[in-house]
Structure 1
């Protein structure tokens, strides 16, 4: 069971890293094109007036996806250790405390998932769209909900690995 959980977590982490990477590349691409077109307009005193419509909107949603995916991909590396409290404890007990700590991230991911799922359902029902580009908000909320669910699932997997099996937070997979 332990190796199955580790393998599942590993593949979920890879998927989340891929999503975060694509979102960051998109974010950087939009930003570079927007800055370049603004600078070109300034250099030509407005005769070349290109702009990226909805760039702020695109960047904000891509940032949301990249942050949620990166959090989900790296949840096992998120332990905050307070040395004053854990100084004399064995590594196994520290790992088990880390598991309990990750249950909080599990709850956070599941609460975000539920809230975003409700928002997506409401947005789809009422035809809510983004302000500038008029993109339907439902799929945006649903995508964020899936990434929040990944955060909750990976947190739960690592909470189980740490709390029950006493395994270290970062599981090596020969990367």
Structure 2
């Protein structure tokens, strides 16, 4: 069971890293293209007037996807351990506390998922579109909802690993 949870979490993390990487590369490409075309416009004193339409919208949605995917990909590394409070605790207890902490992230992922899913359905139903590019908002919210779901699922997987298999984790680290 533990191996299955670890493998599932590993493959979900790889998928999330891919999404985050693609979103960041696209974000950089849009930003570089926008800055370059603005500079070209100034350099040629308006002779060449190329523009990247909706660059602010594109960057904001790509940043949303990159952040959600990166959070989901690295959820098991997210806890800041305060040595003053956890210094004297046994490793088993530290892993269990980390598991409880990750249950909060699982709840956060679920709340974000259901909220964004509701927003996606409402946006689709009402025909809501973005301001500059006139893209439908439903799919944008839906992708964000799925990434939030991945955050919740990976958090839950690691919470279970931390709370249920803390003894095995301690043994495996001792080898």
Query: Quick check: TM above 0.5?
Result: yes
Return the offset for 1:59.
0.3
| Equivalent residue, structure 2, for 1:138 | 138
Question: RMSD over aligned Cα, in angstroms?
Answer: 0.8
Q: Mean Cα displacement is larger for which, 76-85 or 28-37?
A: 76-85
| Equivalent residue, structure 1, for 2:122 | 122
In 2: Cα distance, 1:82 partner to 1:107 partner:
23
Return the offset for 1:92.
1.3
Q: Which runs of 5+ in 2 are unaligned?
A: 170-175
Tell me if 1:62 matches 2:67.
no
| Equivalent residue, structure 2, for 1:44 | 44
| Equivalent residue, structure 1, for 2:99 | 99
Secondary structure of 2:129 counterpart: coil
TM value normalised by structure 1: 0.94
Tell me if 1:152 matches 2:152.
yes
Return the offset for 1:31.
0.3
Return the offset for 1:164.
1.0
Q: Which runs of 5+ in 1 are unaligned?
A: 169-175
| Equivalent residue, structure 2, for 1:80 | 80
TM value normalised by structure 2: 0.94
In 1: Cα distance, 2:95 partner to 2:36 partner:
48
Number of equivalent positions: 168
| Equivalent residue, structure 2, for 1:3 | 3
| Equivalent residue, structure 1, for 2:164 | 164
| Equivalent residue, structure 2, for 1:171 | none
| Equivalent residue, structure 2, for 1:23 | 23
Return the offset for 1:100.
0.4
- Greater helix percent: which structure? 2
In 2: Cα distance, 1:8 partner to 1:33 partner:
38
| Equivalent residue, structure 2, for 1:173 | none
In 1: Cα distance, 2:17 partner to 2:32 partner:
22
